[in-house]
A and B are shown apart, each in its own frame.
Chain A
Amino acid sequence: MAWWEVLVQQTINGLTRGAVFALIALGYTMVYGIIELINFAHGDVFMLGLFVSLAWFTLLGATQTLTGWQLVTVLPLVFLLTMLTTAVLNVAIDRAAYRPLRRSTRLAPLITAIGVSFMLENVALLWKGPAPIAYPDVFPSVDILREWFGVDSAIFVTTKDLLVVGATIPLMLALHYFVSRTTWGKAMRATAQDRETAEAMGINVERTILMTFFIGGALAGAAGLIQGMYYNIGQWWMGYQAGLRAFTAAVLGGIGNMAGAALGGFFIGFLSAWSDQYISARWTNAIVFAILILVLVFRPHGLMGERTPEKV
């Protein structure tokens, strides 16, 4: 492969990785925006999203590559069911582990979030075992350049890449519409900016928080499903890794800032793909964390976030 082909290939890889990170990062940033909690368990909800989606496929008897009408019936149905499952799970986590601590110190719910994360990982470990599980190749993979355009190139773009982009972008647009145009979306933003005043507007803050966890969980579930269909592999500990990368993405974009989280997700996707290629996959984690630390120390409001003076 020529050097530019490698670069293009890695950038495409980065795009697909980044789409998944972005979906997870949105959940982090929404929850942080509204209750100032780093929802440590969020990455594990993503991981369970993968496992749960597999269960739904199995339940619906679709463990082979989907064809024709299945693509427009079974696939959207599994998306819906998976997102619903993880959304409900995320809401349940909030009710059980975070809500009782709403009025306590900031660090208390962070500690319970870590606890929940461990529980979810352990559940996945016992459910699917320690070995990587094979995720069936439900989505048809076609080498686009070669088979559709007849271009003989070392660069490999498949219909799966299209799936990732085609599923992620509409989800993000829908979220953007919800948050900026609908009444409840505005209520959510208002609650994030000033909880007590939002309450004084007649907004039911607890219901808004519930909605935030619901949406965040749904997006994480979608990310899990996409991840499974794209990489065809799942492991019980993958939520921790992906979660930290997605959190880094959210921080890069300025935590609480949704557009920032989406962009940050893609940035981290590119960065990790390039690092795998040009430095060494063994160092990628360290590099991502170094960036996380540098941004937190020097630009705590993110690369594009605004500075807000702290009130004394």
Chain B
Amino acid sequence: MLELTDVHTYYGNIRALRGISLSVAPGEIVTLIGANGAGKTTTLRTILGTARARHGTVRFNGHQLDTLTTDRIVRLGIAQSPEGRRIFPRMTVLENLELGAFARPDRAAIAPDLDRVFTLFPRLSERSAQTGGTLSGGEQQMLAIGRALMARPALLLLDEPSMGLSPILVDTIFRIIQDINRQGTTILLVEQNARMALRVAHRGYVMQTGRIVLHDAAAALLRSDLVRKTYLGEK
């Protein structure tokens, strides 16, 4: 479904990605783990076209993404819940969700999807008239994910959904991620919380300084020495 081949991305003179190749198959949850600065977010930005690959190709369902503008890429069925949530702070919860559906041609199918999001996140339904900036961190995270779901994406990119959340909320969010996946959405998940991510994912890629250093089934990665030592803090 999604295939990155030897992708190099730069910020000015700094090489953030040094030849990334990865693939995501329909129905999967694939996770990217690695330390801050390893290039996880840059990988997502390159897929979405908000950062541009200097070499390499990004293909999605037969389309070559690296030549398309971001709004075209979104229209192909990719949506993102960005790092740091990036809620539109002066718009209501409802407006935020509507914007998630901005690029959809099937206007009629939006209402049922709104119901679906409100079923997944009842809190959002209670606060639909409140502006995004007044929500708590956890509610904002729900809104960010809900907003991405409103695009009814084939592929959902989740960037650090656990960031800044209390442990209980993190559990809730990860359960919902699994629910979304079971309902048929393919997910590429970037997480610093490696264990949580590997717990819900089918496969995982480990990134280090702009490269993929390890790639395996999630359960296997959980047992790998490198992952246990570097990312799980075990001796």
Contacts and interface: CB of A to CB of B under 8 A. Distances in A.
A/B touching: CB–CB < 8 A: yes
Interface of A: 183, 186-187, 189-190, 193-194, 196-205, 308
A131 to B, nearest CB: 47
A189 B86 CA distance: 14
Interface in B117-143: none
Contacts of B86: 194, 196-197
Contacts of B89: 193, 308
Contacts of A201: 74, 99-100, 102-103, 147, 151
Given A200-B50, A201-B103, A186 B71 contact: no
B70 A197 contact: no
Contact of B50 (A189, A199, A204, A308): A199
Given A196-B50, A200-B80, A204-B71, A187 B99 contact: yes
Contacts, number: 61
A190 B71 contact: no
Contacts of B74: 200-202
Question: Interface range on chain B: under 10, 10 to 19, 20 to 34, or 35 or more?
Answer: 20 to 34
Interface of B: 48, 50, 69-71, 74-75, 79-80, 82, 86, 88-91, 95, 98-100, 102-103, 147, 151
Contacts of A200: 48, 50, 70, 74, 79-80, 82
Interface SS majority for chain A = helix
A199 B50 CA distance: 8
Given A186-B98, A200-B74, A201-B103, A194 B88 contact: yes
A48 B233 CA distance: 67
Q: Could you say which of B74, B79, B147 has the most chain A C-beta atoms within 10 Å of its C-beta?
A: B74
A183 B102 contact: yes
A271 B99 CA distance: 40
A183 B151 CA distance: 15
Given A189-B91, A199-B71, A308-B89, 13 more contacts: A183-B98, A190-B99, A196-B50, A200-B48, A200-B74, A201-B74, A201-B102, A202-B71, A203-B71, A203-B102, A203-B103, A204-B69, A205-B71
A91 B50 CA distance: 24
Nearest to B96: A190
Contact of A190 (B50, B69, B91, B151): B91
Nearest to B76: A202
A204 B103 CA distance: 9
Pairs A-B, 3 closest by C-beta atoms: A202-B103, A202-B74, A197-B86
A190 B88 contact: yes
